[in-house]
Amino acid sequence: MKIGERIAFFRTGRGYSVNKLANLSGVSQSYLREIELGSKNPTVELVSVLCDTLGISLKEFFDDQPNDPLISKIYQLTPEQRKTLGDFLDTINK
Mean pLDDT of 8-13: 89
Name residue 85's amino acid: L
Confidence of residue 76 (pLDDT cuts 50, 70, 90): confident
pLDDT for residue 7 is more than 90: yes
Tell me the pTM.
0.69
> In angstroms, rounded to a whole number, what is the distance separating the alpha carbons of residues 25 and 14?
14
Output the pLDDT for position 67. Answer: 61
Structural domains of the chain ordered from first start: 3-92 (1.10.260.40)
Tens-place pLDDT, residues 22-69: 999 999 999 999 999 999 999 999 999 999 999 888 988 988 765 667
Report the candidate in 1, 36, 37, 12 with the shortest Cα–Cα distance to residue 46.
36
